[in-house]
Amino acid sequence: MVDRRVLDTLIELSERRRDEAANEAADARRATEQVLATKQQLQQYRADYDARSPLRPGQQTGPQQIERHQRFVARLDVAIDDQARRHALMRRVQAQREADLVERQKRLKAFETLKQRRDQAYAQRQERHEQRLTDEQAARIHQRRTRS
C-alpha cells in the first residue's frame, strides 16, 4: 500500500526532526545554564572583591590603589552586564528551541495518529471482507444441503 509507505517515511522523518529538535533544546538549556553560572561566578567574585576592597573603612590606601580598584570593579560590572544580556538572549533561544520541540512532537503525533487510524480502517475492511467470504461460503453450503 503506497499510502502506508509514504506515511511510514513521514513518521521516520518526523522522528528524526523531533530528535534533532530535542538535541537543540538540550544544547540551548546547557548553554543557558553555563552563561548563568558564569554570571553568578562573576557576581560572587565582585562581592568577594568588594569585601576586600581598599575602600573599606579603616584601610590605608593611596589614590593609585583606589583608581585600580575602581577600574577593575568597572570591568567586572561590564562583564556581569554582558553575561546578564547573554543569559537573557540564551533564555529566549532556549524557549524558542523548546517551542520548536513541542511543535515537532505534535507533528509526529499527528502522523502517528493518522497511521493508527488508517491501520484500524484497513483492519476493519479486512474483517468485513473475511466476514463476507465466510457468509458466502455458508450460503453455498446451505444451498448444497437444500438441493440434496
pLDDT of residue 56: 67
pLDDT attached to residue 99: 98
Residue 36: pLDDT band by 50, 70, 90 thresholds? Answer: very high
Q: Between residues 56 and 134, which one has the greater pLDDT?
A: 134
Q: What is the rounded distance in angstroms from the CA atom of residue 88 to the CA atom of residue 29?
A: 12
Into which CATH architecture does domain 2-56+65-111 fall? Orthogonal Bundle (1.10)
User: Does position 9 have pLDDT exceeding 90, yes or no?
Assistant: yes
The overall longest dimension of the chain from CA atoms, in Å, is: 127
Residue with cell 583606589: 66
Residue 32, all three cell numbers: 543557558
Q: Where are the domains of the chain?
A: 2-56+65-111
pTM of the model: 0.74
pLDDT over threshold 90, residue 17: yes
Which amino acid is residue 35, in one-letter code?
Answer: V
Mean pLDDT of the chain: 92
Which residues, including other chains, have CB under 8 Å from residue 105's CB and lie 6 or more apart? 18
For 55-71, what is the mean pLDDT?
79
> Could you write out the DSSP letters of every residue in the chain?
-HHHHHHHHHHHHHHHHHHHHHHHHHHHHHHHHHHHHHHHHHHHHHHHHHHT-TTSTT----HHHHHHHHHHHHHHHHHHHHHHHHHHHHHHHHHHHHHHHHHHHHHHHHHHHHHHHHHHHHHHHHHHHHHHHHHHHHHHHHHHHHH-
Q: Is the pLDDT of residue 64 over 90?
A: no
**Contact 104/90 with Cβ under 8 angstroms?**
no
Nearest alpha carbon to residue 25 among 78, 73, 90: 90
pLDDT value of position 42: 97
pLDDT attached to residue 135: 92
Question: Quick one: pLDDT at residue 52?
Answer: 81
What's the rounded mean pLDDT across residues 105-132?
95
More confident call, 56 vs 120? 120
